[in-house]
Every structure is written in C-alpha cells, then in structure tokens.
C-alpha cells in the first residue's frame, strides 16, 4: 500500500471523528486549543489503536483465507463506506453535547473507530506495516478532529454530512481498487 493510499484510508476513516468534532465545536461555540487537542487525542488515539487490534485479530486467520483476502478487504471497505454514506444521508441529527469529559469522549471515540478495527483486519491480509499505518491514521485523525472542533465553532454543522459521504466514497473506491488490482484488471 502506497503512502497516498494510506493517506486516503486515514482520511476516510477520520471522517466520522471529523463530523463528531464539528458537532462538538458547534456545541462548545468557542474552540480553545485545549478543546481541540482533547478531541484530537481521543479520536486520534482510538483511530490509531483500533487498526492494531484488528490487525492482530486478522493475522490469526491470514494463512487460512489468503485465497479470498482481496474479497475480504473489498467487502470490509465497501460495507464501512456504505454505512458512512447511509448514516450521512439518513438525516437523523441529535443535539450535540459540549462535554469533553472522559465518559462522553470514550463512547464517541470508540463509536467512531469501530471501522478502523475492520480496516486493521484488512491490513493483516495486505501485509501493511501496522505500526506505521496506525501512527499515520492516528496523526491524520488527530489533525482533522482538532480542525473539526474549530470548524464547528466557526461554521456550524453544514459540512458534517458531506464529510461523512466523502469518507464513505473514499473507502469504497479503495476497496474496489484493491479488488481490481488483485484480479489483474488494473495496475497502479
């Protein structure tokens, strides 16, 4: 996986956290460096840890399913991306909670990083350097989450669904690329 592809995965995975960070910024109404850093640390930290957990899980089954690994990677990315798009288009908006306390952030960080767990499983089949990939995903998510808090405080929630749709499309396209490359239809 190239650095550009990893960047696209990182951006795609971070879109849920970015959208939630926008809502946090909207609820806070004023973004401080502390609030931006807290959101970035929670979301970035979980987005870095979950692919490692998924990788370790996937590595246990790697030898048994290498013949279909490209289908698994494609399926996982397509389902995750499709769910992101579906959630963005559902329009069910909740009132944002301004709390950045551990109880509120733990739930949000876990909820927004479940897709990273599944991507980590896929990474086990793609022979990705998981430490570098997880660190990169965490750093991208930290940056976008911190920016999301600021953007929410400044612009409000008008970009939330667009961010989720973009992230979903990116993950689906990457899954398709992995499948098509393995089948020998395209070469990058």
Q: Does 160 score more than 70 pLDDT?
A: no
CA distance 180 to 177: 5
The span from the CA of 119 to the CA of 102, in Å, is 25
d(CA 186, CA 125) in angstroms, rounded, equals: 19
Q: Is the pLDDT of residue 136 over 60?
A: yes
pLDDT digits (tens, 9 = 90+) for 80-91: 778 778 877 886
Kindly report the CA angle at 146 between 95 and 19, in degrees rounded to 5?
40
pLDDT at site 65:
66
| The model's pTM | 0.72
Model confidence pLDDT, tens digit, residues 16-66: 888 888 878 877 878 899 999 999 999 999 999 999 999 998 888 766 766
- Cβ atoms of 53 and 121 within 8 Å: the answer is no
- Taking the C-alpha atoms of residue 13 and residue 164, their distance in angstroms, rounded to an integer, is 9
Q: How far is CA 132 from the centre of its chain?
A: 16
Domain boundaries defined on the chain: 3-93+113-182
CA distances from 128 to 56, 98, 142 (A): 12, 37, 21
């Amino acid at each position: 996986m190239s650095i550009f592809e990893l960047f696209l995965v990182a951006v795609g995975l971070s879109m849920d956290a970015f959208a939630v960070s926008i809502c946090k910024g909207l609820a806070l109404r004023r973004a401080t460096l502390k609030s931006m850093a807290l959101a970035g640390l929670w979301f970035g930290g979980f987005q870095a840890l979950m692919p490692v957990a998924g990788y370790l899980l996937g590595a246990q089954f790697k030898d048994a399913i290498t013949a279909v690994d490209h289908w698994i990677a494609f399926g996982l990315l397509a389902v995750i991306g499709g769910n992101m798009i579906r959630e963005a288009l559902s329009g069910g908006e909740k009132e944002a909670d301004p709390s950045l306390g551990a109880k509120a952030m733990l739930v949000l960080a876990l909820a927004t990083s479940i897709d990273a767990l599944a991507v980590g499983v896929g990474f086990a089949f793609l022979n990705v350097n998981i430490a570098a990939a997880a660190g990169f995903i965490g750093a991208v998510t930290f940056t976008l989450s911190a920016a999301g808090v600021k953007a929410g405080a400044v612009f409000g929630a008008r970009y939330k669904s667009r961010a989720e749709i973009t992230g979903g499309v990116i993950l689906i396209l990457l899954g398709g690329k992995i499948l098509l490359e393995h089948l020998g239809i395209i070469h990058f």
